């Protein structure tokens, strides 16, 4: 049975509004719902804005303006050949907010989106009211913990992604079977994949997402010796002045809980670590718990 049309799943109907927004020299697909203090939601690999569908409605119902964007190289956003580094990612996100008339927002990210949320706290502080990183330690904590507790071995796929062309072919083969396989491997429970796996595979088949999504991973490995990578890591030594709610699934087999240690050292504001009994995708595996944590944390800051 053929996969769904990628455009159909990326433009999925619902209570939200789809928009195209120009920012930082590119166009970005944005999904919005609700009114109130703004919350920017940044997805990770290998998903797209749809991973926040439950949080979009929950945040809107709680009195917030939820804004989920497809990152550069994903979903309905532009897929340019360059710009898959954290400095560009943060400029993209801050530019989207400005294009929407939002001066600052709470930034909620998962995986590589959380990497960008951490980076925004330092590189785009004026655009950030607070951050909620999910399934991703602070970049400097992640780097320092790579050789501890077996973390490096769990990220072996990053090395495989450095080979030209072959990773892209592997992810696209058999209608994206490996995309779903990776999500199953990294999850603590897979019921959500049974329901949504075809949606994510379909969106990933939009050309050239398989290539541009991998470019984030290629930058991460090459950053060890590249000047821009060293410059970024040096900048991230600057402490984040806003509050942080750090959510992590203790069953995550890819980003280990031990690797989150030390993240709070880079936060001058309040830092809270919330552990859930999930794998790498808490917003999918336990959406109600994640939404409740985020809304409680937001309410403490917006209604005090």
pLDDT, tens digit (0-9, with 9 covering 90-100), for 247-300: 999 999 999 999 999 999 999 999 999 999 999 999 999 999 999 999 999 999
Question: Does the predicted TM-score (pTM) go above 0.85?
Answer: yes
Q: Which CATH architecture has domain 6-302?
A: 3-Layer(aba) Sandwich (3.40)
CB 277 within 8 A of CB 188: yes
Q: Residues 6 or more apart from 234 whose CB is under 8 A from it?
A: none
- CA distance linking residue 250 with residue 252, whole number of Å: 6
- H-helix or E-strand containing 122? helix 112-123
Q: What's the mean pLDDT when you consider all of the chain?
A: 95
Contact 29, 69 (CB under 8 A): yes
Where do the domains of the chain lie?
6-302
100: which residues sit within 8 A by CB, 6+ positions away?
Answer: 21, 30, 32, 38, 67
Give the pair of three-digit tokens for residue 242: 């806003």
Contact 131, 303 (CB under 8 A): no
According to the model, what pLDDT value does residue 149 have?
58
What are the tokens at 21? 């927004």
CA–CA dist 260, 245 (Å, integer): 12
Question: What is the number of helices (H) and of strands (E) in the chain?
Answer: 13, 8
Structure tokens at 204: 């990933």
- pLDDT beyond 80 at 204: yes
Q: Cis peptide leading into 250, omega within 30 of 0?
A: no
Among residues 85, 143, 144, the alpha carbon closest in space to that of 119 is found at 85
Q: Is the peptide bond before 146 cis (omega within 30 degrees of 0)?
A: no
Place of tokens 């439950």: 54
Say if CB 252 and CB 280 are below 8 A apart. yes
CA–CA separation, 134 and 110 (whole Å)? 5
Distance of alpha carbon 160 from alpha carbon 170, whole angstroms: 11
How high is the pLDDT of residue 160? 85
What digits encode the pLDDT tens for the residues 30-64? Answer: 999 999 999 999 999 999 999 999 999 999 999 99
């Amino acid at each position: 049975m053929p996969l769904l049309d990628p455009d159909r799943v990326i433009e999925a109907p619902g209570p939200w509004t789809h928009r195209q927004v120009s920012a930082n020299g590119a166009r970005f697909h944005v999904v919005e719902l609700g009114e109130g203090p703004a919350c920017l939601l940044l997805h990770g690999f290998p998903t797209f804005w749809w991973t926040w569908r439950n949080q979009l409605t929950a945040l809107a119902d709680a009195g917030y303006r939820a804004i989920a964007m497809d990152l550069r190289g994903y979903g309905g956003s532009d897929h340019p050949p360059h710009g898959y580094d954290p400095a560009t990612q943060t400029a993209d996100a801050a530019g989207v907010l400005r294009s929407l008339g939002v001066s600052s927002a709470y930034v909620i990210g998962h995986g590589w989106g959380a990497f960008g949320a951490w980076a925004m706290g330092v590189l785009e502080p004026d655009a950030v009211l607070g951050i909620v990183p999910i399934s991703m330690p602070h970049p400097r904590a992640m780097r320092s913990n790579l050789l501890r507790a077996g973390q490096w071995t769990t990220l072996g796929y990053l090395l495989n992604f450095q080979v030209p062309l072959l990773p892209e072919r592997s992810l696209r083969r058999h209608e994206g079977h490996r995309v779903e396989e990776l999500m199953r491997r990294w999850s603590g429970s897979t019921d959500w994949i049974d329901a949504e796996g075809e949606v994510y595979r379909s969106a990933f088949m939009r050309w050239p997402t398989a290539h541009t999504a991998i470019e984030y991973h290629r930058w991460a490995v090459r950053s060890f010796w590249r000047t821009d990578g060293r410059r970024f890591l040096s900048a991230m030594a600057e402490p984040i002045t806003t509050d942080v709610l750090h959510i992590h699934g203790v069953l995550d087999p890819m980003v280990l809980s031990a690797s989150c240690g030390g993240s709070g050292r880079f936060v001058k504001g309040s830092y809270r670590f919330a552990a859930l009994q999930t794998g790498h995708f808490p917003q999918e595996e336990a959406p109600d718990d994640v939404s409740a944590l985020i809304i409680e944390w937001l309410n403490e800051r917006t209604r005090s």
